[in-house]
Amino acid sequence: MENNVLNGAELAILINRFEGIARKMTNTLYRTGRSGVLNRARDFSCCIVTADCQLLATADSLPIHVLVGPDMMAQSMKDFHPDLRRGDAFLHNSPYHGSSHAADHVLLIPVIDDSGKHRFTVLTKAHQADCGNAEPTTYMGTAPDVYAEGALIFPAVRVQENYRTIDDMVRMCEMRIRVPEQWKGDFLAMIGSARIGEQEILRLGSEVGWDKLEAFCGQWFDYSEQRMAARLATLPEGVATASSTHDPIPGTPPEGIRINATVTSRPDEGRVTIDLRDNIDALPCGLNLSEACARSACLIALFNSIGGDIPRNAGSFRRVEILLKKNSVAGIPVHPTSCSVSTTNVADRVTHAVALSIAQFGEGFGTAEFGAFIPPSSAVVSGLDPRTGDPFVNQIFLGCTTGAGTPYEDAWLTYLHVGNGGMCFIDSVELDELYQPILVQERRILPDTEGAGRHIGAPSLLVEFSPVGCDIDVAYCSDGRLNPPRGVHGGGVGGGSNQFRRKKDGATEALPAAATVRIHEGEAIISICCGGGGYGSPLARDPHRVLKDVQDGWVSEQRAREVYGVTLDRSGGLDMDATQSARERAGA
């Protein structure tokens, strides 16, 4: 084995090849998926884990999907099926066995070498347009337990043997999932994507040698751990606690769900501990986290805070200890606790509590709060399409801003939500109008809703849409009206969320935070998404950037003057003298 010490060039080439395989899986699925949630919004992820279930390569996947979870799912596949054979494929969506929530179907394929040895596992994970829930939504915020959700749960169930699909499972899904041919198309596309990963790894193994690949993985994890330790050594030493609160919905305490996180930084050891144990027990609603999401949400906050260049894999994760409690709303769920909305709402609050804790280590660390998620502009819409007489169900992605200010830059505008990393796409209005019987009346940035700061948080986006020739059901679970995104280090609060029904007479009425509402013909639904919190004092913001914000209609002249201390002259240019003296007066 002494030959199997790889040098820095070999490491670079092999990680490139593994990442390339994950990217090839991703590109394939994106082009061949059938539902809008896959091929319009790209709400899916592809990754590779080692035979001993350590996360190796994730390409540009959604963080909440892959940081933790693939490892746990691969382990459950091994536990349930000790007899893995080439040609097997498994379907997994059980939040009690490492998956995120029932709507994320995961295809796992063990990569078996010619001698029959299990070498790697490839995973393709995709949010489904429908998963057979009791209501036509993949986010059942108000479901008291998994039985009320209603989705079929697959804890690593074998769905292919010898490269042939086991049709029993397909028929079960077809009997339970709405618009089954759309689901079937996505299922086939997922298998295709995972099989490409399998074949590419088999080719790599025969080219380079399996022992060499195994040695590579060990060394790559060590390298990643070392990079992580070096970076964590730059954090100040200390213990910090912060909280972030999810708005109340049916099934939660009246004050909502307050998530607490404590971060302990030990730079001398190059380690961090994140403690989520000080949180309430699981609730009779769909907001509870799966263990995978609780852990991923912590890691997202940490990686958002330490630069984008540290590899994210089992090696770097060794330096992070995450403490969870069993049967907690943000810990380890116990069946039949519902985790229907596990990837977004409370998970985002966990990320915020951790990020705000890290921010307490000083200016330059942590991030502001991102906006909260699932406004109606990202709802699951369903109904009968009067143009064809056929039923339809799909998640729409008409836009959700929510980016937070960071020590490095202004918010990334189209973030969707923090767990997503801004990776998802936004629907075209024309495509949405073509695919669903809806009309998008309006989609615009709301002025003066940005989280003020040296680096600003995103402004809110308003979207109004209505059914055309029918009624539609709109299912959403919108956090962030009562608890809008907060800034840090002097940064301001970003715009909160809200939603209304516009009635036939034009008047508006408020809608609940989490519901499946029927919007009738002639009515419209108005969705306002959260903006994001600002980072640092707005008085320290570059006045030229404030001027651009005014010109772009994000910030009014009055707000520029009062919040940013920036004065414009008559021609709309910067009045530097007035700005300077205003800022001096304000003590900037």
Say how far apart CA 322 and CA 275 lie, in whole Å: 6
Size of the site for another protein (CB under 8 A): 95
Interaction of residue 32 with another protein, rule CB under 8 A: yes
Q: Which is nearer to another protein, 331 or 399 (CB)?
A: 399
C-beta of residue 404 within 8 angstroms of C-beta of residue 457: yes
Q: Residue 241's CB: how many other CB atoms inside 10 A?
A: 15
Interaction of residue 364 with another protein, rule CB under 8 A: no
C-beta of residue 21 within 8 angstroms of C-beta of residue 123: no
Minimum CB separation of residue 494 from another protein in Å reads 15
Interaction of residue 16 with another protein, rule CB under 8 A: yes
The pattern of x and - marking residues 182 through 201 that bind another protein according to CB under 8 A reads x--x--x---x---------
Q: Which is nearer to another protein, 33 or 331 (CB)?
A: 33
Residues 253 to 312: which contact another protein by CB under 8 A? 303-304, 307-309, 312
Q: Which value, to the nearest 10 degrees, does the dihedral of the CA atoms of residues 172, 192, 80, 62 take?
A: -100
Minimum CB separation of residue 435 from another protein in Å reads 8
Minimum CB separation of residue 244 from another protein in Å reads 19
Q: Please identify, among the stretches 99-107, 162-170, 376-384, 418-426, the one whose residues bind another protein according to the rule CB under 8 A.
A: 418-426
Interaction of residue 439 with another protein, rule CB under 8 A: yes
Residues 451 to 510: which contact another protein by CB under 8 A? 461, 464, 468
Residue 174 DSSP symbol: H
Minimum CB separation of residue 204 from another protein in Å reads 10
Say how far apart CA 529 and CA 520 lie, in whole Å: 22
Residues 203 to 222: which contact another protein by CB under 8 A? 207-209, 212
Burial zone of 422 (CB within 10 Å; 0-12 exposed, 13-18 middle, 19+ buried): middle
Among 135, 410, 479, 523, binds another protein (CB under 8 A): 410
Interstrand relation of 320-323 and 271-275 (parallel, antiparallel or unpaired) = parallel
Classified as helix, coil or strand, 188 is helix
Task: Provide the residue type at 225 as one letter.
Answer: E
C-beta of residue 429 within 8 angstroms of C-beta of residue 439: no
Interaction of residue 116 with another protein, rule CB under 8 A: no
Q: What are phi and psi of 394, to 5 degrees?
A: -165, 150
Interaction of residue 167 with another protein, rule CB under 8 A: no
Interaction of residue 24 with another protein, rule CB under 8 A: yes
Question: Which two tokens mark 145?
Answer: 């337990």
Say how far apart CA 535 and CA 267 lie, in whole Å: 24
Minimum CB separation of residue 581 from another protein in Å reads 27
Q: Please identify, among the stretches 225-233, 324-332, 341-349, 494-502, the one whose residues bind another protein according to the rule CB under 8 A.
A: 225-233
Residues 385 to 404: which contact another protein by CB under 8 A? 387, 397, 399, 403
Interaction of residue 1 with another protein, rule CB under 8 A: no
* Most distant pair of Cα atoms in the chain: their distance: 79
Interaction of residue 115 with another protein, rule CB under 8 A: no
Among 202, 425, 470, 575, binds another protein (CB under 8 A): 425
Residues 314 to 353: which contact another protein by CB under 8 A? none
Q: Which is nearer to another protein, 355 or 513 (CB)?
A: 355
Minimum CB separation of residue 415 from another protein in Å reads 8
Closest residue by Cα to residue 49 from 242, 217, 301: 217
Say how far apart CA 138 and CA 179 lie, in whole Å: 14
Q: Which is nearer to another protein, 111 or 514 (CB)?
A: 111
Q: Which is nearer to another protein, 32 or 243 (CB)?
A: 32
Task: Provide the residue type at 547 as one letter.
Answer: L
Interaction of residue 202 with another protein, rule CB under 8 A: no
Interaction of residue 441 with another protein, rule CB under 8 A: yes
Interaction of residue 113 with another protein, rule CB under 8 A: no
Q: Which sign, positive or negative, has the C-alpha torsion 75, 77, 80, 84?
A: negative
Q: Which residues of 143-160 are buried (b: 16+ CB within 10 A; e: fewer)?
A: bbbbebbbbbbbbbbbbb
